[in-house]
Chain A
């Protein structure tokens, strides 16, 4: 039997309709309702995962666009995050529209919980020829980033393994790394920046 100190609590947070409940069902074998509209999950669902004598309590938190709660479902999300200062947070991003989920991701990062990122719907992103540079994203954020597809079951083992590499993010360091070599000038393509990055002092 798993000892108490080997128990992890994981909060799944992200925008509505990015596949949190689908991931949750994959990880825990539970029966959370999965639909294709934002706001399917408005309440908290808990599930458990046991692997190699470790026990993970996984909490499927209602989706939110930001932590300044706009409706009752988002209030639940804020309350759960506030109520679990020691939990590991799994931020779930939709790989087809990473930019939309990053705002909430940064807000959650400012809370300081150990954190890692699930880059979900990676199969849909591939299909639509949206490519996400996982290595760079991981480097900038300083936390593990795991590409997943809840529908196909891709990346589930990596996700569980990433729990142990989760880091409390350092927002100042993220800012430094993101704007790092060169301040992103508005309107300019990142690729051209990367091309000239070598000669720019850190």
Chain B
């Protein structure tokens, strides 16, 4: 049997009265902090500080300390020369596939499975995502994310979303795959569609951020700025074009809690295991496929075919076709490959933005299929249009600034 909602509320009220009694309400440190971090006047500076701290720890620990301090020295100084010396027959197909360029001086340039593949996986991306997820876990477990959602609410409503959309957006900075499922907490189809499309387009993942800091450090700021502008501009446009509603919701803000050491360790271990079993094979496969396509001449043919579009419209060298193919498997790999193609700084910015937006990686794509094939088709349509418009626009800005 069932009863009416109002009767149910009465019953809830009555049961609660009879069973729950609260002691004197004393202000706690957590409670005070909870208030301060959600009120705009104190909350917004805190949010900026938190995000800045996140980014600088990410860059200095993962990039400067581990990768530059140890990994680059080990891989470029010892591993690459050793592989080049030991592997037989430079010039053979197997040398090309496993070691790559016999004259390469860095592991980015070599582009063999055992040189670039291992370096990208373990030298750059693994330290990056470990540091990233350590901080992400602190944000998740402390209870800060819902507070950020409250602060972002007004802003996100302007692009057809509500504050809670910040959760999938931030998760997406780690990896777009769980972010796609996290859009389930959004209420309407419109919100989910906008969020999923913006995720696929403008949110770079942790692996990509890590490799960008390493391979193209001078362009990172510009690339992120272009992605942020794209997120806001196209979000604004989509929210006006897509039919549907964007209702206000209540956000349930939990109290702050101390992250539990065991839980943090467990999450990090799960991420590491996921990286070893799901990401590393794709990096290797990506290098293998791209190298085979180079050998067969397919990439050269495709580059010539796409040259008008790439050179005239996007303003980037036609050789960027190769990395764009690799980007479907792993964006980090694509950025690594891109960094070795000679081009102007502005072309590099454009090319890295294109790598980010042109298509989601295969893992994200598969997850989007699962969440609704029809929505996915629409998202792909939007994506194609946005890539053409935004790619051309970035080129135009470059021409206007005289740097393209």
Asked if chains A and B come from one complex, the reply is yes
Which of the residues B17, B18, B185, B256 comes within 8 Å of A42, measured between beta carbons? B185
A178 and B257 CA atoms in complex are apart in Å by: 34
CB contact between B143 and one of A16, A36, A107, A137 (< 8 Å): that residue: A36
Interface contact B9-A103, CB-CB below 8 Å: yes
C-alpha spacing A193/B318, complex, angstroms: 82
Mark A31-48 against chain B: 1 for CB-CB distance below 8 A, else 0: 101111111101100000
**Closest residue of chain A to B136, judged by CB?**
A35
- Which residue of B7, B17, B141, B186 contacts A35 across the interface (Cβ within 8 Å)? B141
Are A31 and B266 in touch, CB under 8 angstroms? Answer: yes
Q: Which 10 pairs between the two chains have the least Cβ-Cβ distance?
A: A129-B23, A99-B16, A39-B185, A72-B184, A35-B140, A190-B17, A184-B14, A36-B143, A42-B184, A102-B12
Q: Which of these, B3, B137, B260, contacts A151 with CB under 8 Å?
A: B260
Smallest CB separation, A81 vs chain B (Å):
14
Q: Spell out B's residues near A (CB within 8 Å).
A: 1-3, 7-24, 137, 140-143, 145-146, 164, 167, 181-187, 192, 252, 254, 256-257, 260, 263, 266-267, 270
Contact A190 B18, CB 8 Å, known A17-B252, A31-B266, A38-B146: yes
B16 touches A174 (CB 8 A): no
Instruction: Determine how close the nearest CB of chain B comes to the CB of A115; give it in whole angstroms.
Output: 15
Would A98 and B16 be within 8 Å (CB), given that A16-B252, A42-B182 are in contact?
Answer: yes
Residues in B whose Cβ lies below 8 Å from that of A128: 22-23
Residues of A at the B interface (CB closer than 8 Å) are 15-17, 31, 33-40, 42-43, 62, 70-73, 76, 98-99, 102-103, 106-107, 110, 128-134, 136-137, 140-141, 151, 171-172, 174-175, 178-179, 184, 186, 189-191, 193-194
Cβ-closest chain A residue relative to B2: A110
13 residue pairs from A and B, CB less than 8 Å apart? A35-B141, A37-B145, A37-B167, A39-B167, A42-B182, A43-B184, A98-B20, A99-B20, A103-B12, A106-B11, A132-B20, A184-B14, A189-B17
Decide: B1 and A110 in contact? CB cutoff 8 A. Answer: yes
Residues of A within 8 A of B142 (CB): 36
Q: Contact: B16 with A72, CB < 8 Å? A: no
With contacts A42-B182, A178-B11 known, is A172 near B1, CB below 8 A?
yes
Are B23 and A131 closer than 8 Å at their CB atoms? Answer: yes
| A34 and B263 within 8 A (CB) | yes
Q: Which residues of A contact B24 (CB under 8 A)?
A: 129
B contact face: mostly helix, strand, loop, or mixed: helix
Are B181's CB and A42's CB within 8 A? yes
Give every chain B residue within 8 A of A130 (Cβ-Cβ).
Answer: 20-23
Taking the closest CB of chain A, its distance from the CB of B288, in whole angstroms, is 31
B19 to A37, Cβ gap below 8 A? no
CB pair B3–A36 under 8 Å, yes or no, is no
* B141/A179 in contact, CB under 8 A: no
B251 to chain A, nearest CB (A): 8
Minimum CB–CB distance for B188 against chain A, Å? 8
Q: How far is the CA of A178 from the CA of B19 in the complex (A)?
A: 10
A72: chain B residues within 8 A (beta carbon): 183-186, 192
Tell me whether B20 and A131 are in contact (CB under 8 A).
yes
Q: B residues within 8 A CB of A189? A: 17
Contact at B260–A140, with CB atoms within 8 Å? Answer: no
Residue picked from A73, A99, A178, most chain B C-beta under 10 Å: A178
The answer to whether residues A71 and B19 also contact, given A36-B140, A107-B8, A174-B11 and a CB cut-off of 8 A, is no
A190: chain B residues within 8 A (beta carbon): 17-18
- Bound Cα distance A42, B146 (Å): 16
Residues of A contacting B20 in the complex (Cβ-Cβ under 8 angstroms): 98-99, 130-133
Contact B18 A71 (CB under 8 A): no
Q: Is the CB of B257 within 8 A of A36?
A: yes
CA distance A68 to B111 in the complex (A): 54
Report chain B residues within 8 Å CB of A141. Answer: 15
A134 to B24, CA, bound (A): 20
Shortest beta-carbon distance from B46 to chain A in Å: 17
Docked Cα-Cα span, A39 to B164, in Å, equals 10
| Other A-B pairs, 18, CB within 8 Å; known A99-B16, A133-B20, A136-B18 | A37-B143, A38-B146, A38-B254, A39-B182, A39-B184, A62-B184, A73-B185, A102-B12, A128-B22, A130-B22, A132-B20, A133-B18, A133-B19, A136-B19, A184-B18, A186-B13, A190-B17, A194-B18
B143 surroundings in chain A (CB, below 8 A): 36-37
Contacts of B1 in A (CB 8 A): 110, 171-172
Cβ–Cβ contact B254 & A37, under 8 A: yes
Is the pair A129, B22 in contact by a Cβ cutoff of 8 Å?
Answer: yes
Give the CA-CA distance A140 to B19 in the complex, in Å: 9
The answer to whether B167 and A33 have CB atoms under 8 Å apart is no
Chain B residue at smallest Cβ distance from A96: B255
A140-B18 Cα distance, complex, nearest whole Å: 9
List the A side residues contacting B164 at CB < 8 Å: 39
Question: How far apart are the CA atoms of A132 and B17 in the complex, in Å?
Answer: 10
Question: Which of chain B's residues have a CB closer than 8 A to the CB of A174?
Answer: 11
A75's nearest neighbour on chain B, judged by CB, is B184
Across-interface contacts of B14 in A (CB, < 8 A): 178-179, 184
Q: Which residues of B are found within 8 Å of A132, using beta-carbon distances?
A: 19-20
Which residues of the other chain, B, contact A151 by a CB distance below 8 angstroms?
A: 260
Nearest to B187 among chain A residues (CB) is A71
In the complex the two chains form, what is the Cα distance from A128 to B23 in whole Å? 7
Q: Which B residue sits closest to A16, measured CB to CB? A: B252
A141 to B137, CA, bound (A): 38
Closest A residue to B21 using CB positions: A131
A102 touches B16 (CB 8 A): yes
